[in-house]
Structure 1
Amino acid sequence: MHHLRETLFGLLVLSGLQETRGAPAQEPLGGTDVAYAAARPRKIHGRFLHLTDMHPDPHYREGRSEKSACHRRKPKKSPRSGTYGYTYGECDSPLALTNYTFDYLDKEWASDIDFVIWTGDSARHDNDRKIPRTLKEIYALNRAMAQRMEEVFTSRGIPVIPSIGNNDVWLQNIMMPGPNDVTAEFSSIWKSFVPFHSYQVFQRGGYYSVEVIPGALAVISLNTMYLFDSNKAVGGCEPKSPQDPGNLQLDWLEVQLKTFRSRNMQVWISGHVPPSARNFHSQCHIRYVELSLRYQDTILGHLFGHMNVDHFFFLDAREIANNRTAEVNDAVNTLGGHKDLYQTLLKTFDHFAVPEGKLDYDGLAVANVAPSVVPNPYLPSFRIFSYNISGSRYTAGALGDTSGSGERDGPLTHGRHLGDYVDRARLCHESGTANASWACMLNAPWHANPDSPSRTNRLFTPLGFAQYYMPNLTGTAKRPPKWRLEYLTFAPRALHPPRPATDDDAAAAAFAYPIPLKQLPRTLRDANVTASKYAPYGMGDLTIPSWAALARRLAKAKKSSKLRQRFRRYMYMGANGEL
């Protein structure tokens, strides 16, 4: 079966390499198009999949050397490339790993999730001078990946929300202002994923939104190439350049958030490159952080990939003025800097080591960066998120027409804005940058509410995630390696919520285990378990206060504490960051 899948995937890639495919005329959604399949009532599970950085490599060969990117030369001694990949190295994913991952998700998870967030890099790295990447190969790989997504998920009516990665374009990291050939080609490749009404915007900029639960929950997919500091083909969101593609995208994002908020909807924001001061152009970063905080009561969270390292960081209003986030990503701007990320993150968590009542949650948001499927440089991984699906104003148990998440009680605009955090007298007037920085110009009031889903557990609040990985890539077609639970954010007791009374039909229809019991190790299937090596954090949910509490615990913990040791081990999947 796996050989057959690999052959089919390879044939699809090769067929894409043999011809140049242009974007066909766009047709209205219908038939097998499933970007809006959520409009058809279907069971809700309260879970979704986050998958990132698969990097399939059609040139990968078993038994080859890492120095050749696992393409050539059989070394005299091990290690050598295996059937399913090269562990802790710089080789990309063999098609055997890519297809095995899809087969596993098809069998084990596709019937238990509501949507898929897929944050890009679906082509190999340009790491072999003897076999340079071509635009034709990049598109062929992305088209093959999209077809597998359609087979596994959209054929079931599960929305898939992809994003463009920095390795999905040629030259790597460089994307010209749109509309261009990239946006035209991906309009064709992703025609099953991008809603028809978003095509005009997508063809201009490569970003769009999908209502995964119509009228209630949406995912916004950003094109971070127009915000990425390494893309020198754009202007970096400078205020004096309103037509810069980064500014146009953030203008669009502002309208999207305003519209979704007016409809009482909740939103996830996704993209490839994380929104840090080091990764984003400085003015793009300021605008992104300000929008994230202005619409904190509407945004559930921020999900990204690219870094291949499991971590989280804060979008903090204070960092716009102090530029503290730059130091976090100074350490990880290159692959060699991964080993410093752990210490750098702990340093940024220091200011959370204060009593809980002293923290200002209005000025915070959280970005989660998922590790990759490609074992480069660590181990294959994916995440299953769980979210709250209870609520009196929701059609419980079905993905159908809703009246929005609603339940916004009392005034939500507290009147605060960016100027409350930025010393504009120093930053703007004395330095003469009042018209040169968004930090001096953004004055819109922020919407924050302690009772919103990003701050407290209620309808659509993210409850936690389970991270699965492949700790041993050794295997054969007959006995492939196994995906296993690496860790989860939940407390063990939270994995066994009380089942509602059977006479409450709505509550019973909406009931779901956060993680299906069959996907848990046997030790966690016991409802009486109170502690487990798989549950190091015991987080009640993934709200902003919960992430701040974890940052506080990490900041206060001793260097040799189990908490810090586990946090580091999960970041680097056992490699200790020494690569």
Structure 2
Amino acid sequence: MLPSTILVLFLCGIFNDVISTPTPPQAVLSVDATTPADPPAQPAGRKLRGRFLHVTDMHPDGYYRAGASVSSACHSNKPRKEKDRAGWLGTPYDECDSPFTLTNFTLKHLDKHWADEVDFVIWTGDSARHDNDREIPRTPSEIYNLNRAMTKRMEEVFTSRGVAVIPSIGNNDVWPHNIMAAGPNSITNEFSNIWQSFIPFSSFQVFQRGGYFSVEVIPNEVAVVSLNTMYFYDSNKAVGGCEYTEKEDPGNLEFDWLEVQLDLYRNRDMQVWISGHVPPSPGNYFPGCFVKYADLALRYQDTILGHLFGHMNADHFFFIEKDDLDLPEENSRARRKEMLDEALLNDFSELPKEGKTNLDEFAVVNVAPSVVPNPYVPSFRVFTYNVTGAEEDGGIEARRKKKKKKGSKRKHGHRRPEKDRPAKECKEKEERWECRPKKPWYSDASAPSRKNELWSPLGYAQYWLPDVGSANDTHGGKFKLEYLTYGLPSLRGDKPIPAREVPGRLRNGSYNGRLVPYSMDDLTIGSWVSLGRQLGNPKKRKLRKRFRRYLYLGLEDDVD
């Protein structure tokens, strides 16, 4: 368990602010989880900003000590060489977790600069330290206390303003590390308590069973689904891995629930963001779980706005494609040894050429980098989305009633694009993933995931803390803009992000390829495929080098 003095200091943010009457840890532990209140969802009078925050992998560590040896996980000893000592605000490009100075600094920055500028927050897990010090093994009580402390600060910064926070369970939020059995269990019970201000009452029982839930962040219009990816993660040996015949496997039960959610939201003409900790890939998920995720991601393309994950601590995106509907090949695990940038660029090089691409067959997964400087530098990103017309002519409710009166424009499902496969391959009612019944495929070129219209994702701004290693208690660090996905013409006035958060040279129209590398019109599927196609071209050396630089957050050399 964390020393009580350290926990009190973290809860109160005393590393950055002098606050009287610190809150004792037992006050946090005594929350009653029996009567959860619904989280805020755009209360009356609060205008939509058209922005949301994605923050992930904070990894606070109460045993971190500035000046300690990096080789001790920044916990003990004092090495002779200064370069081997833990930094005051954090230690980049190494394997130490976040000191409370960093997590408090980050949340103070978000409080001051972004809490009034976003509509909701997607927080994708890992709010406890790694189990990387044999001298100080983690305990369940420490993990839960760290999550309580982080939750309290998120409530103070965001929930108190009416901003919904949607958290996810990370693989380091459980004990033992990576292991979570089918619920209900002690983990789902604890997080039901810790996150009671975030979980809607209607989702509370489901969360207690499985650790996942959904919340309408814009009532009747946009929802966020928080998945418990522990039941899909192939390092979790306490589950069955979504085997087709194991109907009660917790991963299969979660996918059954997700399909019902997507059906319900689609029937209500709503849009959905999917969020979670471990991203869906053959290298991370059990084969059956990955196929099932790919199946739902593609079949509900007209309902899902995007897929947001953390865990990897590196900034990248990748595609889920039609070919992923078959079980991954055995060599997919061998590709884990391939460098991430190489694997991604190789995949992008295999994208079909323009004019030969069926966008019905693609979904895009965005993986955000971490706050913890392990192994890179702290960062977070702010997405913008289209709210044009949402609050005109009487607002969302009036628009909803008008639309309902006219009737839904949602298209019926169509047949899934199939690969040529001999009919004799599957016997009647054979229980294998390859032989599963084919269900309707919901894709639509005019859906917000495909065309820039109301609720479509438009872009994001990524901020980082490049001077984290050199900061001290006299000269603190500063979050700066790392890059934008938008084109330069978009950066006028306070759109898409507040002008004060954009460097003056960009506001004045001066081109900077490092800050505006992609010039994407929006973040619809077609825009991502177009960018992927460019990155897959070996002749685009400067663009590929910048992509690597962002992927590893400055570890690669920059280019002009």
TM-score scaled to structure 1, two decimals?
A: 0.88
Instruction: Identify if the C-alpha distance between structure 1 residues 324 and 301 changes in structure 2 by more than 3 Å, giving closer, same or farther.
Output: farther
Which runs of structure 2 are paired with 1:427-446 in the superposition (5 Å)? Answer: 428-429=425-426, 435-446=430-441
Q: Which of the residues 64, 67, 71 maps onto 2:71? A: 67
Instruction: Identify if the C-alpha distance between structure 1 residues 216 and 410 changes in structure 2 by more than 3 Å, giving closer, same or farther.
Output: closer
Is 2:516 the counterpart of 1:535? yes
Instruction: Identify if the C-alpha distance between structure 1 residues 238 and 517 changes in structure 2 by more than 3 Å, giving closer, same or farther.
Output: same
Q: Which of the residues 32, 42, 46 maps onto 1:24? A: 32
Whether the aligned pair in 2 keeps the contact of 1:361 and 1:544 (CA below 8 Å) is: yes
2:382 corresponds to which residue?
384
CA deviations 1:95-139 (Å, max 9, x no partner) are 000000000000011111100000000000000000000000000
Instruction: Identify if the C-alpha distance between structure 1 residues 302 and 95 changes in structure 2 by more than 3 Å, giving closer, same or farther.
Output: same
Q: Which of the residues 50, 72, 76 maps onto 2:54? A: 50
The separation in 2 between residues aligned to 1:85 and 1:479, in whole angstroms, is 14
In structure 2, runs of 5+ residues without a counterpart are 1-11
Q: Which of the residues 539, 545, 550 maps onto 1:565? A: 545
The separation in 2 between residues aligned to 1:554 and 1:542, in whole angstroms, is 16
The separation in 1 between residues aligned to 2:122 and 2:245, in whole angstroms, is 34
1:352 corresponds to which residue?
351
Instruction: Identify if the C-alpha distance between structure 1 residues 21 and 48 changes in structure 2 by more than 3 Å, giving closer, same or farther.
Output: same
CA deviations 1:211-234 (Å, max 9, x no partner) are 000000100000000111111111
Aligned-pair CA distance for 1:425: 4.2
The separation in 2 between residues aligned to 1:7 and 1:242, in whole angstroms, is 54
TM-score scaled to structure 2, two decimals?
A: 0.91
The separation in 1 between residues aligned to 2:17 and 2:216, in whole angstroms, is 33
1:169 corresponds to which residue?
174
Which runs of structure 2 are paired with 1:339-378 in the superposition (5 Å)? Answer: 340-352=339-351, 354=353, 356-378=354-376
Whether the aligned pair in 2 keeps the contact of 1:43 and 1:399 (CA below 8 Å) is: no
1:545 corresponds to which residue?
526
Aligned-pair CA distance for 1:324: 6.7
Aligned-pair CA distance for 1:574: 1.9
Aligned-pair CA distance for 1:3: 4.1
Instruction: Identify if the C-alpha distance between structure 1 residues 461 and 190 changes in structure 2 by more than 3 Å, giving closer, same or farther.
Output: same
Q: For 1:357, what is the secondary structure of its paired residue? A: coil
Instruction: Identify if the C-alpha distance between structure 1 residues 22 and 225 changes in structure 2 by more than 3 Å, giving closer, same or farther.
Output: farther
Is 2:443 the counterpart of 1:448? yes
2:289 corresponds to which residue?
284
Whether the aligned pair in 1 keeps the contact of 2:15 and 2:104 (CA below 8 Å) is: no
The separation in 2 between residues aligned to 1:376 and 1:204, in whole angstroms, is 32
Is 2:451 the counterpart of 1:469? no
Which runs of structure 2 are paired with 1:109-508 in the superposition (5 Å)? Answer: 109-321=114-326, 323=328, 327=332, 330-332=334-336, 340-352=339-351, 354=353, 356-391=354-389, 403=400, 412-413=411-412, 415-417=414-416, 420-421=418-419, 423=421, 425=423, 428-429=425-426, 435-473=430-468, 474-496=470-492
Aligned-pair CA distance for 1:442: 3.7
Instruction: Identify if the C-alpha distance between structure 1 residues 399 and 63 changes in structure 2 by more than 3 Å, giving closer, same or farther.
Output: farther
The separation in 2 between residues aligned to 1:378 and 1:330, in whole angstroms, is 25
Aligned-pair CA distance for 1:439: 3.2
CA deviations 1:77-101 (Å, max 9, x no partner) are 0211111001100000000000000
1:87 corresponds to which residue?
92
Q: For 1:540, what is the secondary structure of its paired residue? A: coil
Whether the aligned pair in 1 keeps the contact of 2:291 and 2:327 (CA below 8 Å) is: no
Is 2:10 the counterpart of 1:15? no
The separation in 2 between residues aligned to 1:21 and 1:318, in whole angstroms, is 48
Which letter maps to 1:228? Y
Instruction: Identify if the C-alpha distance between structure 1 residues 193 and 422 changes in structure 2 by more than 3 Å, giving closer, same or farther.
Output: farther
> How many residues are paired up?
542
Q: For 1:352, what is the secondary structure of its paired residue? A: coil
In structure 1, runs of 5+ residues without a counterpart are 498-511
Aligned-pair CA distance for 1:322: 7.1
